[in-house]
Structure 1
Amino acid sequence: MIASRLARLVTASAVLLGACLAGAAPASATGTDGACPEGGGVTVVVDFGDLGPAPVVRCAPGTPANGIAALQEAGIEVAGSQKYGLAVACRINGKPGPDVESCAGMPSATAYWSYWHASAGGSWTSSQEGAQTAKPAPGSFEGWAFARPKSANDLPSPPRIAPVRQASAPASAPADQGGSSFPWDVVVGALVIVVIGVAGTLVARRRRAQ
């Protein structure tokens, strides 16, 4: 009977510890703010132009299959047209709205998303193929800029955010890191003490009963 109680107590303690660990699990790695670190992922820059929102810079981890996948894996919403699907990026993060573009077919020649590529620290180059077929190079930058040329013959402007990685913030001192982390050693130690204490109490009661 004591062994049964002890087993239930150990199981409950394990469940409690597992719940604590699950609650502290890191967020999904998909889509992080800012440029990707050197040697990992594809940085996506979205310049909304005169549509209003501030430009967005996010990191798509790994090696996205194409330009559309880079947008999605960076955590940026993209919607295609009703006729061509995601072969045409019509809206990015809900922009432009239906008052500017219906997204029924091809976007207007004077209001559309232009698509760009760049190496880190390089210059933006207009893409020569669609985002569904373009393969982003590892560590590169993907750019989107909303264009409103005066005529269909005018060339669009690249994103206003340069394809440059920001300097990494200095690491915190060891003391600061220790103060900000959760004291798992204390939690585990306390659970072990509780299990041992209760087990000892049950054994003592059984001896007195005998």
Structure 2
Amino acid sequence: MRLFSALAVGALLVTAGLSGASPASATVPGKGTAGYCPDANGVTVVVDFQDLGGDTLIRCAPGPQANGVTAMQNAGLDLAGVGKYGLALICKIEGKPADQSCSGMPPENATWGFWTATDGGKWASSQVGVQGWQPPAGSFEGWSFAHDKAFQDYPPPRVAPVRKANAVPAADVATAESSSFPWGLVIGLVVLVVLVVAGVTVGLRRRRA
């Protein structure tokens, strides 16, 4: 009975470790790469959902980019534009905000702010539209959701525009941590329980004998 209980606990722990390994983002498969661009040959796109919830996305759009929209698309982001303006005005990124209609202009107090920066510089609110901005190689493009704020108070992304070749976004860190489940510890505990039970059983048999 004790051995069965130990094995059951071990199975539950293993199941918990596997269930935590699912990816956190819904980016377009086969487009872009997760994390910062490793060098100046590409544009790093940062999406900070702010109070919409969810991890900040950091994606690389490899190679030259024609404008801000293509950078987002080549980074693998799922986009929705505004009515007749299409992707000239961004309504949703990765399906957020989920409850917002894209048939008309988003309200000023619940919209995406568009930011640009050079590597190692500071975020600046873009002075041109996303389709009119041609991102320089190695630069950063940022999107940050502004809720219940005036235009002058729109928050920039909370990730500094500094290229980090070995850094990964929080979503991928969570996935990596969940995949590093301590299998050796669980197996060691199960083996220990088996040895203890076997030792007790042998001892009881010798007494009876």
Query: TM-score, normalization: structure 2?
Result: 0.63
Superimposed CA distance per residue, residues 122-177 of structure 1 (whole angstroms, 9 cap, x where no aligned partner): 10000001101111011000000001133x454201000111122438xxxxxxxx
Q: Is the 8 A contact 1:29 1:61 kept in 2?
A: no
1:164 aligns with 2:162: yes
Query: TM-score, normalization: structure 1?
Result: 0.63
Superimposed CA distance per residue, residues 7-47 of structure 1 (whole angstroms, 9 cap, x where no aligned partner): xxxxxxxxxxxxxxxxxxxxx97400100012210000000
Q: Match of 2:153, SS?
A: coil
Q: What is residue 59 of structure 2 aligned with on the other side?
A: 58
Q: In structure 2, what is the Cα distance between the partners aligned to 1:126 and 1:111?
A: 16
Q: Is the 8 A contact 2:39 2:165 kept in 1?
A: no
Q: In structure 2, what is the Cα distance between the partners aligned to 1:29 and 1:61?
A: 12
Structure 1's unaligned 5+ residue stretches are: 1-27, 170-210
1:146 aligns with 2:136: no
Structure 2's unaligned 5+ residue stretches are: 1-28, 168-209
Q: What is residue 109 of structure 2 aligned with on the other side?
A: 110
Q: Is the 8 A contact 2:47 2:142 kept in 1?
A: yes
Aligned length: 139
Q: In structure 2, what is the Cα distance between the partners aligned to 1:36 and 1:153?
A: 30
Which of the pair has the greater relative contact order for Cα pairs under 8 Å at 6+ separation?
Answer: 2
Letter in 2 for 1:161: V
Q: Is the 8 A contact 2:42 2:63 kept in 1?
A: yes
Identity %: 56
Report the aligned-residue RMSD.
1.7
Q: Hey, which bits of structure 1, 4+ residues long, moved more than 3 A? A: none
Letter in 2 for 1:165: R
Q: What is residue 155 of structure 1 aligned with on the other side?
A: 153
The structure with the larger Rg is: 1
Q: What is residue 48 of structure 1 aligned with on the other side?
A: 49
